[in-house]
Amino acid sequence: MTASTLLIAVPVAVPLLAAGLSLLLSPFPVVQRVLGVTVLAAVLLDAAVLLVHVDRSGTQPLHVGGWEPPLGITLVADRFSALVLLVSALVCLVVMLYAVGQGTAEQRVENVPSVFHPTYLVLLAGIALVFLTGDLFTLFVGLEVMLMASYVLITLGATAERVRAGMTYIISSLTASILLVTTIGLVYSTTGTVNLAQLSEATADLSAGTRGLLGLLLLVVLGIKAAMVPLHWWLPDSYPTAPVPVTAVFAALLTKVAVYAIVRTQTLMFPQPEPWTLLLVLSAATMLVGVLGALVQDDVNRLLSFTLVSHIGFMLFGLALSSVAGLTGVVLYLVHHITVQTALFLVSGLVERERGTVSLRRLGGLASTAPLVAALFLLPAFSLGGVPPLAGFIGKLALLQAAVARATPLVLAVAAVVLLASLLTLAAMTRLWLLAFWRHPAEPVAESPAQRAGEGEIPLASARLMRASAAAAVLVGLLLVAAAGPLAAFSQRAAADLADRASYRGAVLSGEAG
């Protein structure tokens, strides 16, 4: 048990153990909260140390139980996975604090204690497992752990609305999961292994047709989970109804975990020498469909969900370029997108607390009644639209530079779509700003925001905690800008790692750090 194996094991094992403990602690909500926040802080610290360690000494494997591949379960930490793990842990912690402030876990149904805390920890464990996994089947297990937790979270409290939305979400996700198992079965039958490092060699021996088929199957099943157009239908219908913290963490992480899985599997197993035409077209469609959907929504959360779909396209575009520069853009954009979506959804939650509605027709004048919320909204909204010097601009710039370096006519056409989608995102955000924050209120504003059906007065301390954590989410986005130089350099190294399959293989199979 060396230091590095311990570092890799903690993000998966500790949240799972803590989830069990948390379930036992249901009668003591305060202890539950302390436990949750402590565990998340520990995972965050662990991820930070892991990141530094991996950056210094290269890709680190962990063979669980000492079983070597292809028999054992392998966990691998490289620069890319360590970075996304760090950002995810940070986001989870911020959202957890927000949830504590909002009292999400206290919303009981018929005296059944809420399972928010244990489930949330299971969610984190699943996410960490997907990021750190070194074989295809464990990737599926990680996704499944994460999704099981998300099924419970999205139907939290089981109100009529959530049950309806939960059905759509669960059925779509489950279909993707079953197809993923089938795909893994096909991969195993053609190659005889599910270890990613071994697959990266084994896929080279397959016929072009088989490789193409397996690559496509993986893209489709993970594309459903990543909300890639035309497989995005479920997302805007299911996210908006869940409690705010849940929606925020879903929007930030679930689709990005799938994007991570797409990047990981495609770069390792099916590397493309040339820009990938199919994925380029799909990414363009994703960008446009998402943003056009966002322009006509009335519900703020649905609007944000559509922008989320749109920006998945940006990451797919970076992957489709099949170059180190493109992958650098993907890594940068992924990190930016996780933070910005969290911030926006948390702010939307603040708006809902302020007015009791998130319908654009009924909102208005928030800029004068809640200037802090307005300010917190503006920064991530501009970042999403790609206004310099915010983080979104840095990510988009990296992607466009990569596109110019790859200049085929199709790539340039899709790069134009990137610009157009950014502009339209800005337009959607401006529309949101004008309708919700700027114009005179559409209807008289109630005196006290807390006087709503089914909710008592929220104590001032909790309201402060909610605002503080939303502000923290926005601040993380600004930190990305402050650290733009080192972050870009790191992303470049991470992308070079992704493109360099031989060192990944060496690190996993023969134990020499690559």
Partner 1 sequence: MNATNLTLSLVVGGLFAGGVHLLLQRGLFRIVLGFVLLGHGANLVLLIAGGPAGAVPEVGEADPAAASDPLPQAMALTAVVITFAVTALLLALCDRSVMLYGDDEVRDDVEDRLLARQERQGEET
Binding residues for partner 1, rule: CB under 8 A, are 70-71, 137, 141, 144, 148, 151-152, 155, 158, 160-161, 163-168, 170-171, 174-175, 177-179, 181-182, 184-186, 188-190, 194, 237, 240, 296-299, 302, 360-361
Is 193 exposed, middle or buried (CB count within 10 Å of its CB: 0-12, 13-18, 19+)? middle
Cβ distance to partner 1 smaller for residue 158 or 407: 158
Q: Which is nearer to partner 1, 193 or 277 (CB)?
A: 193
Nearest to 314 by CA among 291, 345, 346: 291
Task: Tell me how far, at minimum, the Cβ of 137 lies from partner 1, in Å.
Answer: 5
- In sequence order, the β-bridge partners of residue 359 are 299
**Rounded Cα gap, residues 235 and 413, in angstroms:** 27
In whole angstroms, what is the distance from residue 514 CA to residue 509 CA? Answer: 11
Cis peptide before 236 (omega within 30 of 0): no
φ, ψ dihedrals at 390, nearest 5°: -75, 170
* Run of H or E residues at 77: strand 74-77
74-77 and 60-63 beta bridge pairing: antiparallel
Task: Please give the radius of gyration of the chain, using alpha carbons only, rounded to the nearest integer.
Answer: 22
Residue 178 Cβ vs partner 1, minimum distance, rounded to whole Å? 5
User: Which CB sits closer to partner 1, 70 or 215?
Assistant: 70
Q: How far is CA 195 from the centre of its chain?
A: 24
In the complex with partner 1, the residue whose CB is nearer, 299 or 354, is 299
- Least distance CB 367 / partner 1 (angstroms): 20
Geometric angle at alpha carbon 87, from 477 and 265, rounded to 5°: 125
Complex with partner 1: residue 151 or 277, whichever CB lies closer = 151
Shortest distance (Å) from residue 180 CB to partner 1: 9
Closest approach, Cβ 147 to partner 1, in A, equals 9
Q: Which residues of 93-128 are buried (b: 16+ CB within 10 A; e: fewer)?
A: bbbbbbbbbbbbbeeeeeeebbbbbbbbbbbbbbbb
Least separation in angstroms between residue 448's CB and partner 1 is: 28
> In the structure encoding, which two tokens stand for residue 119, read together?
């489930």
User: Whole-number minimum distance, CB 19 to partner 1, in Å?
Assistant: 15
Strand (E) or helix (H) holding 418 = helix 409-432
Residue whose CB is less far from partner 1, 74 or 155: 155
Q: For partner 1, which is the closer residue by CB, 78 or 352? A: 352
Judged by beta carbon, residue 82 or residue 156, the one nearer partner 1 is 156
Closest CA to 443 of 351, 358, 389, 365: 365
Residue placing its CB nearer to partner 1 in the complex, 13 or 484? 13
- Cβ-contact 93, 45 below 8 angstroms: no
Q: How far apart are CA 158 and CA 155, in angstroms?
A: 5
**Between 215 and 326, whose beta carbon lies closer to partner 1?**
215
- Provide the minimum distance between the beta carbon of 243 and partner 1 in the complex, in angstroms, as a whole number: 17
CB of 206 to partner 1, least distance (A): 12
DSSP tally for the chain: helices H, then strands E:
21, 2
Minimum distance, C-beta of residue 388 to partner 1, in the bound complex (Å): 30
Peptide bond into 230 cis (omega under 30): yes
Greatest C-alpha distance within the chain:
70
386 alpha-carbon distance from chain centroid: 19
Alpha carbons 349 and 43: distance in angstroms, whole number: 26
Least Cβ distance, residue 201 to partner 1 (angstroms): 17
CB closer to partner 1 out of 213 and 450: 213
